[in-house]
Amino acid sequence: MSTTTTPHRPTTANGRARDARHASKVARVARQLRERTSTAPLSRQKRVVSHQVPKVHDRKHLDEKIDLNDLDEVIEIDPERRLCIAEPGVPFCRLVEQTLPLGFVPIVVPELKTITIGGAVAGCSIESMSYVHGGFHDTCVEYEIITAKGEVLTCTPDNEHSLVFQMMHGSFGTVGILSRLVFRLVPAKPFVHLRHETHRSIDSYLESIRSHFERRDVDFMDGIIHSNSHLVLCVGDFVDSAPYTNRYDWLKVYYRSTAERTEDYFRTPHYFYRYDQGVTNVHPKSFLGRLVLGKFLGSSEILRLAEKLRWLLLSDDRPDVTVDTFLPFSRLKEFLEWYAADYNHYPLWCVPYRRVHDYEWMADSFWKGMSDDLLIDIAIYGGKQPPGRNVYRELEKKLQELNGIKTLISYNYYPEDEFWRIFHRENFAKVKALTDPDNIFRDLYQKTCKAAMGRE
């Protein structure tokens, strides 16, 4: 039975002062929503650039905006309870700067510096601790949400708004405005020691992933697949000291190092953001370009340029393939063999992801067909589209055969009836009736498959 849960509140004087400041920000946003008479679509205005794949004709550029720029403060870090209370616009790079000196970090830190904690929930961010903990959203224990009507809800996994809590994950802002998060922290050390295991067959690679997953004998696990005969599994641990450290934010490219090195050491923040210039689609691509511009063109700057100059830089006719695919562990070999024969763009990023919770935003039929306790994210970044083909659509179809899914951050071509066989239409409808009855935030299909593609 649902119960009312007392919201997590700061325990220090400074935290209480920041919380009071937060309450005034929320009151401003809620008042704007209550006083709004239009039912036309509404999008967010935030300081940090969106980390969804930019698209030329995305309708959000024409929407009226709700100003969320000031919802970007860490309210309190509580080492005793291993909790952090923060606003959604806080980027992970700033969060880690504040938690690491206290000996803690967020349990899942996404790969790009300026991904925000709110964006990590809306888009289901993962990383190399996900093989134990799932996604960042799986480490959250409470959300404060502002509805389209200006009501403020406290949502937890076990209170009267538990379904709203669960449906925020992967909602891409369609359920409500996330205004405050409470999430768990994990003890951390100043350095990370990384080992690169090289495998020459898919079977050997899968055996090692399964072994580490069952033993939980490392802090971090992800990998780079250079081909089906050159697969690198990168396993690491927090350590107190390091004989040297590397960083991959200027001249050196991290994914290339996995083919060249057997081990590496990092300062902890530099480990977290080793992919910030691009996971496998590094920008600038040439050494000379990185020498001249690399210091100034991280992921955030590239995305901002693509957003501002989208008419010059982007094409919706045959867009590059940038997508995360989630597969049951038991079907990964079948996918990799199909992929090599049918598309063959490498390298791929491989992130094991523990099945922590059967998410309510996925259709019941998806989970009924799932026996695996481990999923694998295979990320394809920067692949070119061959003439006459739509690789995105081919992936959508193949993943359904394998009981997998693709994330919705980029280009989506699902027919509507097919889309709602994958995602849980009834649960979205229940939550939207409470949080957005006039659909001003759009529904998930409208936002990710129509408006994002300029087809609304």
Lowest mean pLDDT among 61-70, 261-270, 352-361: 61-70
Q: How confident is the model at residue 327 (pLDDT cuts 50, 70, 90)?
A: very high
* Per-residue pLDDT at 306: 65
> Under a CB-based contact definition with an 8 Å cutoff, are residues 235 and 221 in contact?
yes
Q: What is the DSSP string of 17-45?
A: HHHHHHHHHHHHHHHHHHH----S-EEEE
Sort 382 into a burial class: Cβ within 10 Å, 0-12 / 13-18 / 19+: middle
Residue boundaries of the structural domains of the chain: 13-187
Which residue is it, tokens 């009834």? Answer: 426
* Beta carbons of 155 and 165 less than 8 angstroms apart: yes
Query: Please, which pLDDT band fits residue 2 given cuts at 50, 70 and 90?
Result: very low
Taking CA 354 as the corner, what is the angle to CA 5 and CA 82, rounded to the nearest 5 degrees? 45
Which pLDDT belongs to residue 330?
98
Top CATH class of 13-187 equals alpha beta
Residue 265: strand, helix, or coil? strand
pTM for this predicted structure? 0.94
Q: What is the mean pLDDT of residues 344-362?
A: 97
DSSP conformation class of 128: T
List the structure tokens of 179.
């205004």
Q: Which helix (H) or strand (E) holds 241?
A: none
Nearest in space to 351 (alpha carbons), one of 320, 375, 322? 375
Q: What is the pLDDT of residue 455?
A: 86
Q: Is the peptide bond before 347 cis (omega within 30 degrees of 0)?
A: yes
- Give 233's strand partners: 197, 223
Tokens found for residue 431: 């939550």
Residue pLDDT, tens place only, 58-87: 898 889 999 999 999 999 999 999 999 999
Categorize the per-residue pLDDT at 318 as very low, low, confident or very high, splitting at 50, 70 and 90: confident
pLDDT over 70 (residue 315): no
Q: Is the pLDDT of residue 304 over 80?
A: no
Residue 4 has pLDDT above 80, yes or no: no
> For residues 422 and 288, which has the higher predicted lDDT (pLDDT)?
422
Is the confidence at residue 1, as pLDDT, over 60?
no
